[in-house]
């Protein structure tokens, strides 16, 4: 009997289905093997996808671990508003690790000068929070396509009892088998989105109809140019007299500290337009928008060795 077109079903598995299934498997593996996991949540697009995957991994139960944001105090207000609203909707506990508190306690020293940023100071705040709350696994939203140092990371990335990472001494991962053994004081960073691309993230946000902070879409904003990058004109950016501010249409590919996160000129006001721009670009996300990655050829790897995300 021949089926009608209306009765036909498409049972093929899409690329997003495969990536989703792999990530959910990883999240469930961590929940089963570790005692005190935490999900790092910045309100950015990657961690929004991570939250969605965690929802699906444990549905209809709630996500069984807290989320943590390392807050520099210099974040975009639109992102902070979104962060608080989203965790309230999901009914999960939000832990805020504050860079300002680390400065007040003398754990880190505020940078000075035109290019001062709190981005690097996050490392100490993150490691202190992991130790204080005794987290033994921390989910991150990093992807291998973001930056070459991140391409070296395993899905389960071991950190020693100082929170440090050694790219030359990593555990093998064969056939999706992960080594979860650690001693007291050590922990594992877990990256379920390792095999995703930026384009996959945007396609998933569209498929799942997920809300994202408004700064990801084109909007009029006062910016200034520094080293070929458009930075927001804010009290944290230390704009010089030779860096005139002007208003233009921009959007952000990534969110982070306002002092070092660049915008791109764009007219994309919807997901389809953003996806079109991402599909056409040949510049990596961090290469185009993160001033802190330009300080040296190995800037990200140096930070990761110290315990950065």
Are 175 and 216 part of one and the same domain? no
Q: Using the 3D structure, point to which of 178, 200, 222 is the last residue of a domain.
A: 200
Are 136 and 34 part of one and the same domain? yes
Q: Which residue has the tokens 């056939």?
A: 175
Q: Using the 3D structure, point to which of 200, 233, 255 is the last residue of a domain.
A: 200
pLDDT band at 291 (very low <50, low <70, confident <90, very high): low
pTM for the predicted model, two decimal places? 0.89
Are 92 and 32 part of one and the same domain? yes
Mean pLDDT of 63-89: 95
Are 69 and 20 part of one and the same domain? yes
Are 132 and 266 part of one and the same domain? no
* Structure confidence at residue 296 (pLDDT): 60
Are 48 and 127 part of one and the same domain? yes
Average pLDDT, the chain: 90
Report the DSSP beta bridge partners of residue 75: 257
The alpha helices in the chain, defined as continuous H runs, are: 15-33, 45-58, 77-90, 99-104, 122-133, 148-151, 198-207, 271-280, 285-289, 299-306
144-198 pLDDT, tens per residue?
888 777 788 899 999 999 989 988 888 888 888 899 999 999 999 999 999 999 9
Are 72 and 134 part of one and the same domain? yes
Q: Using the 3D structure, point to which of 167, 200, 233 is the last residue of a domain.
A: 200
Domain of 57 in residue numbering reads as: 15-200
**DSSP SS3 for 214:** helix
Q: Is residue 249 part of a domain?
A: yes
Are 52 and 170 part of one and the same domain? yes
Q: How many CB atoms lie within 10 A of CB 260?
A: 26
End-to-end CA distance of the chain: 57
Q: Is residue 2 part of a domain?
A: no
């Amino acid at each position: 009997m021949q089926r009608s077109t209306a009765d036909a079903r498409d049972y093929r598995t899409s690329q997003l289905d495969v990536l989703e299934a792999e990530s959910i498997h990883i999240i469930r593996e961590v929940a089963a093997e570790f005692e005190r996991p935490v999900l790092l949540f910045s309100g950015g697009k990657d961690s929004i996808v991570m939250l969605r995957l965690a929802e699906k991994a444990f549905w209809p139960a709630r996500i069984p671990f807290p989320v943590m944001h390392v807050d520099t105090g210099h974040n975009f207000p639109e992102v902070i508003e979104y962060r608080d609203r989203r965790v309230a909707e999901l009914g999960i506990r939000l832990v805020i690790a504050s860079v300002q508190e680390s400065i007040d306690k003398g754990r880190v020293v505020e940078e000075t000068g035109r290019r001062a940023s709190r981005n690097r100071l996050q490392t100490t705040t993150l490691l202190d929070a992991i130790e204080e709350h005794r987290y033994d696994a921390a989910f991150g939203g990093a992807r291998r396509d973001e930056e070459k140092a991140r391409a070296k990371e395993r899905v389960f990335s071991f950190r020693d009892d100082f929170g440090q990472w050694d790219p030359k001494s990593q555990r093998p991962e064969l056939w999706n088998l992960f080594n979860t053994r650690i001693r007291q004081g050590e922990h594992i960073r877990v990256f379920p989105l390792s095999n995703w691309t930026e384009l996959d993230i945007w396609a998933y946000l569209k498929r799942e109809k997920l809300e994202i902070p408004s700064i990801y879409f084109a909007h009029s904003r006062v910016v200034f140019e520094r080293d070929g990058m458009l930075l927001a004109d804010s009290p944290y950016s230390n704009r010089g007299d030779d860096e005139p501010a002007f208003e233009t249409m921009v959007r952000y590919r990534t969110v982070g500290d306002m002092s070092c996160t660049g915008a791109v000129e764009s007219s994309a006001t919807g997901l389809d337009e953003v996806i079109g721009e991402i599909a056409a670009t040949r510049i990596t996300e961090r290469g185009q928008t993160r001033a802190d990655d330009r300080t040296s050829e190995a800037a990200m790897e140096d930070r990761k060795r110290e315990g950065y995300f």
